Structure 1
Amino acid sequence: MGEATSRTAMDRLRTPRRPRLWFEIVLIAVSYWTYSLIRNAVPEQRAEALRNAGWIWDWEHRLGMAFERGVNHAIDSINWLIVGMNYYYATLHFIVTLSVLVWLYHWHPGRYAAIRLALFATTGVALLGYYLFPLAPPRLMHGGHFIDTVVVHHTWGSMASGNLANMSNQYAAMPSMHIGWSLWCGLTIATLARPVWVRVLGLLYPTATLLVIVATANHFWMDAVGGIICLSFGFGLSYAWYGALPYRLPKQVTGLRRAPEGELRPA
């Protein structure tokens, strides 16, 4: 009896339900506050972070893929483009992610919780990377000759450079959550949106973000690989919890029950 009750309770937790607006607002606000608090509380191990940056830069040279400085200098020479990328880096990371969450909440309530879990798990596991592998961004490397584009062009908004730098951990570059979040957005849009042009924009978004994080010297391309690994973990955890890929869950939640083998079927 107790085992059956426990199984029923677990099935109820794992069955998609219509999200509650007030709960989601509080959850997202508290989660991001906690993430920022922990991320910025990680000791800024400057010497180790600079050593790790040198190690990554050296390995990229060995692989013949140390292209970040060339991209940084080339795009910095185009004033309007690099200024736009600075603002892109500072703002779209939050705007697009929140917009996708709102879109999912309204149009895909049956998939919302599972896709949100993937995002939260991705962000949570990234904290381990910040703690275990402190990493200086290219713009802070000694002798790297990278251009800190926010400082040079006096643009507003980046927590990574300028007057706001003291409010953010400067040595939490690995993994890149700009890539983790943008790829989460891109996959979600490309998979669930109906208009083809919107799907194409979804696919282009993480690609453009990769160019931006490299051009502004905020990340190595290897940081992007770290973000992809974190996102893979996030989707894996969501799959393990809900028994299906988030995008394959029913769009709506009305009249669903969980079958004995774990599949979702109409009631």
Structure 2
Amino acid sequence: MRTRLALSSLRSPRRPRLWFEILLIAVSYWLYSLVRNAVPEQKTAALRNADWIWSLEHSMGLAFEQTVNHAVNSVTWLIVSMNYYYATLHFVVTIGVLVWLFRRHPGRYAAARLALFATTAVALLGYYVFPLAPPRLMNGGGFFDTVMLHETWGSMASGNFKHMSNQYAAMPSMHIGWSLWCGLTICALASAPWARILGALYPVATLVVIVATANHFWLDAVGGMACLTFGVAMSYAWYGALPHRLPKRIQGPGRSRLRALRRPPRRAPEPVSRAAGPGTVAD
């Protein structure tokens, strides 16, 4: 009984603590980067897989990445903007949504955070079992590495930063996984129509950016969506509801439900007899 109560308490949304969340996010991202970059690059396998993906997309009639890459690259201000978008918004928007959830939707924060963390964790498995070179690194692919070409600071996988990141971990795309998590969260919880519109457009714009900058195939985006599906399923299995279905705020401390379950049932009040006063006869 006590174990069941403890498990029920753990699976109940609780008020997030700022210091713990900052530490958790920092340590989690450090571990994610460490594991991702520790995965063997497997260059030969990654290039072979890239050729296979490119051939598969051709057979489907959907190999449009090179056309988009060349078209956008011809407009300098646009491709440079996309380089900076790729490098910054991936982190800025995700952290911004986490902060917004923490402040405005504390009852839903933990479930949404679990979905994001599970999404990211399963992506590591993809990097290990299916190393994949991005289009810009394909042999004879004809793609432009837009960061190198325009000498902009844009990607941890290009320029002076290329030795700090695994070059062959393109599948799945966490730019899509994270941006779709942000977009769905905003669409589900934001009250302002303009915010919901921006939330819906954000993953679409991210898809255009990752293709235009030749950092991903569109099939990498499908992999990111699959990872997010897994992450949301894990959150649902743990909390018993989708994040937006949980209460917006938590009343009382996080363990109030456990204390309520342990509290003995309230006894019914005993009848009160009337005191015998002057001139009355007691029964």
> 1:99 aligned to 96, 101, 121, which one?
96
Counterpart in the other structure of 1:248:
245
Q: How does 1:138-217 map to 2 (within 5 A)?
A: 138-217=135-214
Count how many residue pairs are aligned between Structure 1 and Structure 2.
255
Counterpart in the other structure of 1:126:
123
> 2:73 aligned to 73, 76, 84, which one?
76
CA distance in 1, matches of 2:122, 2:250: 29
CA distance in 2, matches of 1:150, 1:87: 9
Deviation at residue 56 of structure 1 after TM alignment: 0.3
> 2:5 aligned to 2, 5, 8, which one?
8
Deviation at residue 257 of structure 1 after TM alignment: 4.1
CA distance in 1, matches of 2:257, 2:216: 45
CA distance in 2, matches of 1:173, 1:245: 28
Counterpart in the other structure of 2:47:
50
Counterpart in the other structure of 2:22:
25
CA distance in 2, matches of 1:246, 1:188: 8
CA distance in 2, matches of 1:156, 1:220: 21
SS of equivalent residue, structure 1 residue 169: coil
Report the AA paired with residue 21 of structure 2: E
Q: Deviations over 1:31-70 (max 9, x none)?
A: 0000000000000000000000000000000000000000
SS of equivalent residue, structure 2 residue 19: helix
Q: Deviations over 1:186-211 (max 9, x none)?
A: 00001100100110000000000000
Deviation at residue 246 of structure 1 after TM alignment: 1.0
Task: State the superposition RMSD in angstroms.
Answer: 0.9
CA distance in 2, matches of 1:234, 1:24: 18
Q: Deviations over 1:84-103 (max 9, x none)?
A: 00000000000000000000
1:113 matched to 2:136: no
CA distance in 1, matches of 2:236, 2:25: 21
SS of equivalent residue, structure 1 residue 87: helix
Report the AA paired with residue 67 of structure 1: F
SS of equivalent residue, structure 1 residue 24: helix
Any stretches of 5+ residues in structure 2 without a counterpart?
259-283
CA distance in 2, matches of 1:146, 1:25: 39
Deviation at residue 158 of structure 1 after TM alignment: 1.4
Any stretches of 5+ residues in structure 1 without a counterpart?
259-267
* TM-score, structure 2 as length reference: 0.89
* TM-score, structure 1 as length reference: 0.94
Deviation at residue 145 of structure 1 after TM alignment: 0.1
CA distance in 2, matches of 1:214, 1:233: 24
CA distance in 2, matches of 1:37, 1:44: 13
CA distance in 2, matches of 1:222, 1:108: 33
